[in-house]
Structure formats: structure tokens, C-alpha cells
Amino acid sequence: MKKTMNASVHETLEIARSLKELPRERAPRSLLPAVLQKVGLGDTYWRIDSAVGEIYVAHSRAGISMVSRARSTREFEKAFESRFGRPIASDRTRPPANVKALVAGRLRGKDANLRFDLRDLSEFERAVLRKALEIPPGEVRPYSWIAREIGHPDAVRATGSALAKNPVPLLIPCHRVVRTDGHLGNYSLGGPRNKRRLLEAEGAQPATLEKLAASGVRYFGNEAGRYFCFPTCGGIDSLLRENRVIFSSQREALAAGFKPCADCRPAAVA
């Protein structure tokens, strides 16, 4: 019995040595996305038309992971892998139909309950993007508003950087965030031209916003209600001109006896 056991151990060790001496072969890189997809952990993507042209939308089990423009599927796949360090399945693998329907609805302006995969972002960056989701269509807020709302009033520059790195523009509407001086600023999904196009489609009147910024107007005051708002609060034409007062700063509005609007919260309430 002892001899048999020793022989068995010896054979096992010999097999282990033989396996160790075999040349190491890596699995084909193209195999990884398929394996991840099979076990429900991979990202897939599809193409869809939007107000700024055709876009690519990536989706994982956790939610929408990336939105981008690209000249080809290969360019999008390379951009995805470069950003996240993981490959993505080819567009032959389709995401769930209900997810595609929700994305299409959001792009048409519907209030779709989408989930987002933001695992690669810091907690601060996620807080910035969650706050941007609260800005209604047809309205804009400055970077400084987001910074203050998430409890980091001095992190205006970092807020702008987080929005610039938004992996899911359009669906998380960073185009509704403007510079602190009121000017529209840049946009990661095609630059200022696309930002103007999106804001125009939502009724925010970007040309009017630029004129107000150039003339130093930052807030509208409601003479009857004695409160002040961001110009787009409730829609840029919601406040009657005869009841409108203009202010260049929070300090000016507060000194005039106007309180911050409870809806758009243009200033911290003491």
C-alpha cells in the first residue's frame, strides 16, 4: 500500500514538472470580452442617432458606462479600452432591449430611469455627475453651483474637470452646466457648437445666455415675490419683463432685499 502511494505521488510530481516545462501560452485577447459577456460581466455597445449625430453607447451589468462619438467601431473600441483598461464586446453582441429603449427615450427628452456604471470615477466625480442629473431640460447652472451643492464650494475648477471627463455625456447632461461667468464654455461631445445645439433644442436659448453673460447679468429678480433666480429657472421667459429685476451678483441681490429662489437655489441659504 505504501509503495503504491509513493508511486502515485512520484507520478504526480513528474506530471507537474512536465506541465511546468511546457511553453506558456496566453489566451487570445479577443477571447476575454466573450468570456466576460458569457458570465454577465462584460460591456457591450450599440450605435444610435442623437441631436449631435450618431453616437456609441456602452453598457455593462451595472449600467451605461460610456457615450462617445467615433468614426468607426474599431475607433470606439480602442477609446473604450484606453479609458477603462478593459476590452468591450463587438457590436454584434446586443444589450438588453429595455436598456436601448430607455436610452432612446432619454435622448428624446423623456424622464427615463437609467442606471450608470461610474465605478472608475472618484466619489467626488460621481457626486458632480449626480448633481448635474438634477438640472432640468431648458435650464443651466454654473460650475460654482454644483461645487456648492455637493459641499465643496471652493472646488469649482475640480468640478469643471469632472464634468469634462464625464463618460456618459448627453445622458448625464453636462451640457447644462456653464461657466461661472455665465458663458457657455466647452463641451466634451463635439465642442461649443454641439453644446449650443443641445441647449437650443431644450429651449435654453444659448444666444440669449451669451448676451446676458457679456452684459454682466447673472440673476433675475422677481419684484413681486422678492426672490432672485438663475435666468433659466423655470424657463428663460417664465418671468414677466415688467416684474423682472437684473442683478450682477448674489451680493447685489441680497443687499436689495431679495432672497434666493427655493427651486434653483442660486445662493446658499443662511
Catalytically annotated residues: 174
- In this structure, are residues 55 and 76 in contact, taking their beta carbons and an 8 Å threshold? no
Would you call 12 exposed, middle or buried from its count of C-beta atoms within 10 A (0-12, 13-18, 19+)?
exposed
Grid cell, residue 175, equals 451640457
Q: What is the DSSP string of 99-135?
A: HHHHHHHHHTT------B--TTS-HHHHHHHHHHTTS
Sequence-ordered list of residues with C-beta below 8 angstroms from that of 194, at least 6 positions apart, any chain:
52, 175, 187
In Å, what is the CA distance from 51 to each residue of 54, 106, 110, 194? 8, 12, 14, 8
